[in-house]
Amino acid sequence: MDNVKWYNLNKEGYIIKKHNKIIWPLPEKGGIYVYKFLLDEEKFYIGSTINIKQRFRQHKYRAEVFQRELIYNSVLYRYVMEYGWNNFKFGIMEYIDFKQDTEFKDKRSIIIYTEQKYLDLLSPSLNTNKFAGSMRGFRHSEDTKKNYGIMRAGKCYRKIKGVVIRPEVSQETMLKLKLHSKNITVIIYTHENIYVREFSSIKDTAKFVELSPTSVSKYIKSGKLWNNKYYFKLKTNIVNNNISFPLDNHDNTVTTRIDNIKTLNRRSCVFEVLNDNKLIYRFKSVTKASEFLNISRRTLTNYSKNNKLWRDKFQFKITHNW
């Protein structure tokens, strides 16, 4: 790594010059970068991105989130949490220039191909994955898989207007989903709650108030007043954050749901839900039942095979029609 352009970091993860003066030298260009651990220079992390300036900020943000919430888990962030950013150096191994009309997927292919060459050559010890842009070859520990299975038990994904969430999703998580949605409106109010203006994106809002989109997002999340002047509020079509199991509220007055089953091929099956041997739901497949009932396919299948009662009340039955 003789040709790497190195930068020193302070405790907060900012690039600094002498006398700890913060500088912003990174351009918005694609390239391959490296984090070197100063207490053991044999340990380092290699990454690639289409925008090095943006990715550098992303690593700083994710390390902060990892310290608070233990998400974005990686070897690099665990080292940062234990030793601090000031025990790392940040370096640019190679900048990659793209033609103006290069599509995103082609940029990504070039970046990943270049990163893989460095991974194969240098075998960085702080990289979780040894294949660029892929989880191939990575294995979770048995404890992690067991805990993940317990967390997911009895639940499945449910789509709400294009966004996939879980029944136990929090208000904070919903706000994050809203911020990433393309169908949002940001409304600006004064400190006296007087309407000022609205925009169809966070980016346009940021241009109006001359802030970064990240800063506007933070003020939306916190609900704080910016510059003693404006509040930023979010309006979006994503409104459902309280999904329940249809069976939780079941009583004898619920009308039986029977899907219109016209034709069945060799692989098809009918999934039925019974209460006191009375049919209350019928679906074309386990998948359809899973989507409606918000219970995982595996759980539905296991309860059916083992003839177990769901919550000591409901019976699941799979009928193969061939």
Which tens digit of pLDDT belongs to each residue from 281-299?
A: 888 888 888 877 778 888 8
Q: Where are the alpha helices (DSSP H) in 70-196?
A: 75-83, 104-122, 142-152, 171-179
Task: Give the integer Cα–Cα distance in Å for 83 and 38.
Answer: 10
Q: Dihedral sign, CA of 136, 56, 45, 2?
A: positive
pLDDT at residue 31 in the model: 96
Q: What is the pTM of this model?
A: 0.49
Residue 158 has pLDDT above 90, yes or no: no
Token duo for residue 203:
């980016």
Cα separation, 160 vs 169, whole angstroms: 12
Place of tokens 């979006």: 236
User: Where do the domains of the chain lie, and which CATH numbers do they carry?
Assistant: 5-122 (3.40.1440.10), 170-236 (1.10.10.10), 246-320 (1.10.10)
Of all residues in the chain, what percent carry a pLDDT higher than 90? Answer: 35
Whether the Cβ atoms of residue 5 and residue 52 lie closer than 8 Å to each other: no
- Show Cβ contacts of residue 20 under 8 Å, excluding neighbours closer than 6 positions: 10
Please give the distance of CA 208 from its chain centroid, rounded to a whole number. 28
In this prediction, residue 237 carries a pLDDT of 53
Which of the 8 DSSP states describes residue 308?
A: P
- Report residue 156 as tokens: 């499945």
Q: Which of 97, 129, 100, 102 is nearest to 116 (CA)?
A: 129
